[in-house]
Structure 1
Amino acid sequence: MPKTAIKFQAVSKHFADASYPAVDNVTLTINEGEFITVLGSSGSGKTTLLKMVNRLYDCDGGKIELFDEDIATVDAVALRRRIGYVVQHIGLFPHMTVAENIATVPKLLNWSKEAIVARVDELLTTVGLDPEEFKSRHPKQLSGGQQQRVGLARALAVNPKIMLLDEPFGALDAITRLNLQNELLKIHGGLKKTFLFVTHDINEAFKLGNRVIIMNEGNVCQFDTPKNIMNMPANAFVKELIDAARGQESFWGERA
């Protein structure tokens, strides 16, 4: 039996002046080593769900457990240092080199200089960047795709069991995005970590996720494999998503 990595138990979050909860009584379980994508339109609650895992937002109701530990009982800063977090706009420190960016948390945890240097080189190689070429560069000297790879390396620095990725490829061009999707699948397959990846792109969600959470207005509409969702949409909203994706496919077929 696989270990449970993340468990949401009747989790809710409501922001002031909102007409409906950002997350509404969500209960689901994610196993260790899964690649879970969270799909939904803007305002569906997908990013809020993600941010509650590392306590950037605290639950208004319910409980979240990571490996059977209630995150409300853990210091928020200490919790975040155990979780990798990658966002769309990367957030690299512009005054730091690539190596210094990746080393941020290891330095806070008082790793030795030798261990940090070795880890930086290892991670740059993992994300497909030559350490000798890139570790002394600054973020402004990198392309968007290269910056996103460095952001991923930084999130992996302390070997977290859980990675949270919030639309990390949303601002990239189509070719770079496709290449990074393929790279991320290889990285996940090699590391066997638990990935929770937010996207509004159905093709990206179904390509990357071994299971997909589909959200709408704070609710989980369906949580299943891409194949089961395509063959058995749980409600009208999910069916509309599937029909829209198939409509895009037919568009290319008509013009071939």
Structure 2
Amino acid sequence: MNIAAEFIHINKQFKGSNYMALDEVNLSIREGELVTILGTSGCGKTTLLKLVNRIYEPDSGEIRLFGQNIQEMDPVKLRRSIGYVIQQVGLFPHMTIYHNIATVPKILGWDKEKIRKREEELFRLVNLDYKEFKDRYPSQLSGGQQQRIGLARALAADPSLMLLDEPFGAIDAINREKLQDELLRIHEASQKTFLFVTHDINEAFKLGTRVLIMDKGQVKQFDTPEAIIKNPADEFVESLIRSASKQYFITDGGGI
């Protein structure tokens, strides 16, 4: 299987900080994986994600996407080639849902018919009715519906890589579980590579084909949910597993 993303000797320390945000991170992520990145606040998981689309730059090391060093790429073109979803969704309030999703395709010069066909595909993918929702505004949608539209917008230009930074963090428990199930279905249907940041161990182990566990800027373990539970790498990983709710259990799909 081809490698989608490589992190090679990545180090990052923010100005004024007395600790490393990322400390000698080395990773390879395969095409088509849904990798969840798990850790407590300040562990470096969001920093790692923001290095991929060059919101931040590493102090040292190299990141390669599909074999190309991202430092050799135009940062604007790079960002347009990557889907990005955040907790706050970030939909433009003055634009209809149709125009929100069409934003990047328009920038890329797609014609109206191509955009319309792509939008109809995406509405089906996120389980929303195209005719019912395309002319609505974000304020007319529920939080869960907004998050689905955020996913559709991120997928609009057919990116090979999706970055998701705690996208379900502000959603209530019932809708969060539904959205997790939808995300698994969307990932399977799209065959894209997803990097998904979360601080919720149950979410990480339910969604991840592999789980990246971080602490204090370092990778503690990177493996399948089953392998991590059976063979935690150290006391930190063990404590995370113990903290998970007793109501969850290992499934064939990799959940807890």
TM category (shorter chain) comes to over 0.9
Give me the whole-angstrom Cα distance separating, in 1, the residues matched to 2:115 and 2:227: 44
Paired residue type of 2:51: M
How far 1:19 moved relative to its partner?
2.2
How far 1:33 moved relative to its partner?
0.4
Give me the whole-angstrom Cα distance separating, in 2, the residues matched to 1:18 and 1:240: 27
**Tell me, what secondary structure is at the counterpart of 1:114?**
helix
**Tell me, what secondary structure is at the counterpart of 2:88?**
coil
Give me the whole-angstrom Cα distance separating, in 2, the residues matched to 1:167 and 1:100: 24
Match of 2:26? 27
TM-score using structure 2 length: 0.95
Paired residue type of 1:65: R
After the TM superposition, which segments of 4 or more aligned residues of structure 1 sit over 4 Å from their partners? none
How far 1:124 moved relative to its partner?
1.1
Report Cα offsets for 1:60-106 as digits up to 9, x if no partner.
11000001100000010000000000000000000000000000000
Match of 2:81? 82
Give me the whole-angstrom Cα distance separating, in 1, the residues matched to 2:247 and 2:206: 18
**Tell me, what secondary structure is at the counterpart of 1:17?**
coil
How many residue pairs get matched?
248
Give me the whole-angstrom Cα distance separating, in 2, the residues matched to 1:172 and 1:23: 29
**1:58 lines up with 2:57 in the alignment:** yes
Give me the whole-angstrom Cα distance separating, in 2, the residues matched to 1:19 and 1:149: 39
- Structure 1's unaligned 5+ residue stretches are 252-256
How far 1:125 moved relative to its partner?
1.3
How far 1:237 moved relative to its partner?
0.6
Match of 1:196? 195
Give me the whole-angstrom Cα distance separating, in 2, the residues matched to 1:147 and 1:22: 31
**Tell me, what secondary structure is at the counterpart of 1:249?**
coil
**After the TM superposition, which residues 6-21 of structure 1 pair with which residues of structure 2 at under 5 Å, given as runs?**
6-21=5-20
Paired residue type of 2:219: V
Match of 1:180? 179
- Structure 2's unaligned 5+ residue stretches are 249-256
Paired residue type of 1:98: I
**Tell me, what secondary structure is at the counterpart of 1:85?**
strand
Q: CA RMSD in A?
A: 1.0
Give me the whole-angstrom Cα distance separating, in 2, the residues matched to 1:55 and 1:79: 8
How far 1:119 moved relative to its partner?
1.0
Give me the whole-angstrom Cα distance separating, in 2, the residues matched to 1:101 and 1:23: 34
Paired residue type of 1:159: D
Match of 2:253? none
Greater Cα offset, 175-184 or 118-127: 118-127
Report Cα offsets for 1:166-211 as digits up to 9, x if no partner.
0000000001100000000001111111000000000000000010
How far 1:250 moved relative to its partner?
6.2
Match of 1:237? 236
Report Cα offsets for 1:138-175 as digits up to 9, x if no partner.
00000000000000000000100000000000000001
TM-score using structure 1 length: 0.95
Paired residue type of 2:105: P
Give me the whole-angstrom Cα distance separating, in 1, the residues matched to 2:152 and 2:81: 14
**After the TM superposition, which residues 77-226 of structure 1 pair with which residues of structure 2 at under 5 Å, given as runs?**
77-226=76-225
Give me the whole-angstrom Cα distance separating, in 2, the residues matched to 1:242 and 1:60: 32
Match of 1:249? 246
Give me the whole-angstrom Cα distance separating, in 2, the residues matched to 1:135 and 1:119: 12
